[in-house]
Structure 1
Amino acid sequence: MTPATSLFSPVETDLQILADNLKELVGNRHPILKAAAEHLFSAGGKRIRPAIVLLISRATMKDKDITLRHRRLAEITEMIHTASLVHDDVVDESDIRRGVSTVHSLFSNRIAILAGDFLFAQSSWYLANLDNLEVVKLLSEVIMDLADGEIQQGLHRFNSSISLETYLNKTYYKTASLIANSSKAAGLLSGVSQETAEHLYAYGRNLGLAFQIVDDILDFTSSSDTLGKPVGSDLKSGNLTAPVLFAFEEQPYLEVLVEREFAQSEDLDRAIELIKNSQGIKRARELAAYHASVAVEHLQDIPPSESRQALINMADYVLSRLY
């Protein structure tokens, strides 16, 4: 599998600047929140979201260098993403993220919630200082979408009648909205046409959907060490994803196990076995591949460049995580 970092070679230096800046942006006013933020920003992760912002920035600036506003947008994108992870970990009661301890397990739920709120507030302040109303609206919508997605996920726990459309809407809110809207915002900061900006939005939307569908597949096909969390943890918490929804069509007993919320000791293992013995994972792979291919189609108007090629390769990378 091609490492994500090798895709980022056109923006490797930009990402190093971003990593240095993130810790500075948090400031020193709140020592515990700063410690929590430093733990988060040091925890690894592939920085895929800010890398996409930086690649689009370079691909749309042609022969010019990217601006400080492009860089700040990438930083804001990573701050919003990180804030959402902190809150997700509290809601999901996860002790491990990316193979390291989560903020709430190291500090407390109270500090984790405050740290997430603080990062959202900081990102909003820096966003306002970009002095671009359309970009402010796009990223503000992302913050609303993240909350909406989390609420939808909570409302549909163990709901075996959830539709694929509802699942994809929730997936958009929780994962794809940030990639879609920050992709569009990067183009707008470069001065692209409204038509091109919409293509960039569609690229990010479809790439984000493909990325999350792949993550949902890996919940069943990967190892605990690779995932950084127990296999089947999404299913155990009642989060019904594409492989499960497709498997329902073939395995009626799976619905029984879900409806009783895996109350018996062997229920979860039995459910995972039923999913693996169905076409659910295969059909979810096909759905991810469809969205990845649609994402690439929306890059046709972007002039050829090393950065544009990296954005195309990103779609292949997303799918390659399955193999």
Structure 2
Amino acid sequence: MTSVTSLFASVEADLELMTENLKNLVSARHPILFAAAEYLFGAGGKRLRPAIVLLAARATMPHQALSSYHRRLAEITEMIHTASLVHDDVLDESEVRRGVPTVHSRFNTRVAVLAGDFLFAQSSWYLANLDNLEVVKLLSRVIMDLAEGEIQQGLNRFDTSLSMDAYLEKSYCKTASLIANSSKSAGLLSRVSSQLAEDLYHYGRHLGLAFQIVDDILDFTASDEVLGKPAGSDLKSGNLTAPVLLALEEKPYLEKLIEREFAQTGDLEEAIALILESRGISRSRELAAQHSKAAIECLSNLPASEARQALIDIADYVLSRMY
């Protein structure tokens, strides 16, 4: 399987610079928050979201140098993503993420909440200083969507009547909104046409949905070591994802197990077995493939370039994670 970092070769130097800038942007006047942020940005995440911003910038300005505004947009995107992860881990009471201790488990919950708040505030400040009202609106909407997605997920725990449309809307808010709106913002900073800006938005939207669906499949098919958390942990917490919703159509007893919140010994293991026996996983793979294909089609109006090809390869990579 292709390494995701190899897809970023054309913007690797940009990403390294971004990581150093992020550490410096978090003020040393707050030593605990600085330590938390340095830990976060040094934790070796995939940096997928800022990489997409930088690639979209290079794809829309193939013969020009990256502007300071594009670089700052990539930093803001990673700040928003990281802040949301810190808060998600607190809400989910996760001790590890990708095998690394979470901020609240390494420091404490108070520091984690403050670090997340601080990063959201920092991102808003630097966003305002881009002096582009449309980009400010797009990224501000992302922060609202992240909160909305978390609220939807909390309210719909163990709700077997949840529709696929509601699941996709929640997935858009929690994952795809940031990729979609930051991709579009990169195009706006390049002063592309309104049509091309919309194409970049829909590329990010479809890519983000494919990414989330694949993540939800891996919750059932990957090992604890690969996930960095126990397999089936989303289901255990009552977060019903695409494989579960599709399995419910075939396995009526699964509904009973979910609605009693796996209260009896062996309930969770039985539920996972039912999902794996059903076509829930295979149908989810088909759904992810549809969104990946749609994402690639959205790039057809971009001129051929190394950056455009990398954006296409990222959509293919998202699917390859399933196998």
TM-score in same-fold range (> 0.5):
yes
Structure 2: distance between partners of 1:43 and 1:234? 23
Structure 2 CA distance for aligned equivalents of residues 6 and 40 of structure 1: 22
Give the match for residue 56 of structure 1: 56
Partners in 1 of 2:260 and 2:101 — Cα distance? 31
Whole-Å Cα distance in 2 between the matches of residues 250 and 283 of structure 1?
Answer: 12
Superposition map of 1:62-211 within 5 A:
62-211=62-211
Say whether the 8 Å CA contact 1:90–1:112 is kept in structure 2: yes
The CA deviation at 1:219 is 0.1
How many Å apart are 1:107 and its aligned residue? 1.3
What residue number does 1:285 align with?
285
User: What is the Cα deviation at residue 19 of structure 1?
Assistant: 1.1
Q: Return the letter of the residue paired with 2:307.
A: S
Matches of 2:191 and 2:235, distance apart in 1: 43
Match of 1:250 in 2: 250
> What is the distance in 2 between the residues matched to 1:118 and 1:187?
27
1:5 aligns with: 5
Q: In the aligned structure 1, how far is the partner of 2:253 from the partner of 2:98?
A: 33
The residue that corresponds to 1:308 in the other structure is 308
Instruction: State the distance in 1 between where 2:152 and 2:20 align.
Output: 35
CA distance in structure 1 between the aligned counterparts of 2:136 and 2:98, rounded to whole angstroms:
30
How far apart, in 1, do the equivalents of 2:179 and 2:54 lie? 12
Q: TM-score, normalised by structure 2?
A: 0.99
Q: Deviations over 1:141-179 (max 9, x none)?
A: 000000000000000000000000000000000000000
What displacement does 1:45 show?
1.1
Question: Is the 8 Å Cα contact of residues 44 and 98 (structure 1) preserved in structure 2?
Answer: no
Letter of the structure 2 residue corresponding to residue 212 of structure 1: Q
Once residues 98 and 277 of structure 1 are traced to their aligned partners in structure 2, the CA distance between those partners, rounded to angstroms, is 27
Q: What is the match of residue 223 of structure 1?
A: 223
One-letter identity of the residue aligned with 1:182 = S
TM-aligned CA deviation for residue 265 of structure 1? 1.5
* Kept after mapping to 2: 8 A contact 1:43/1:98: no
Give the Cα–Cα distance (whole angstroms) in 2 for the partners of residues 138 and 29 of structure 1: 30
C-alpha separation in 2, matches of 1:38 and 1:158: 36
Deviations, residues 284-318 of structure 1 (Å, cap 9, x unaligned): 00000000000011001100000000000111100
Q: Deviations over 1:54-82 (max 9, x none)?
A: 00000001201110100000000000000
Separation of aligned partners in 1, 2:243 and 2:268? 15
The more displaced of 65-74 and 37-46 is 37-46
Task: Give structure 1 regions of 4+ aligned residues with deviation exceeding 4 angstroms.
Answer: none
Take 1:298 and 1:105, find their aligned partners in 2: how far apart are those partners? Answer: 41
TM (normalized to structure 1)? 0.99
Alignment partners' CA distance in 2, 1:211 and 1:13: 25
Helix, strand or coil: the match of 2:310? helix
Distance 1:130 1:296 in 2: 29
Q: Which runs of 5+ in 2 are unaligned?
A: none
- 2:20 equivalent in structure 1: 20
Kept in 2, the 8 Å contact 1:148–1:173? The answer is: yes
The number of aligned residues is: 323
Q: 2-side partners of 1:55 and 1:27: how far apart? A: 28
Q: Spell out, residue by residue over 1:112-163, the C-alpha distance to the aligned partner (whole angstroms, 9 max, x if none).
A: 1110000000000000000000000000000000000000000000000000
Asked whether the equivalents of residues 238 and 258 of structure 1 are also in contact (C-alpha less than 8 Å), the reply is yes
Q: Which shifted more, 87-96 or 36-45?
A: 36-45
Contact map agreement 1:23 1:41 (CA 8 A) in 2: yes
> Which amino acid is 1:199 matched to?
D
Q: For 1:8, what is the secondary structure of its paired residue?
A: helix
Partner secondary structure for residue 302 of structure 1: coil
The answer for unaligned runs of 5 or more in structure 1 is: none
Amino acid at match of 2:127: L
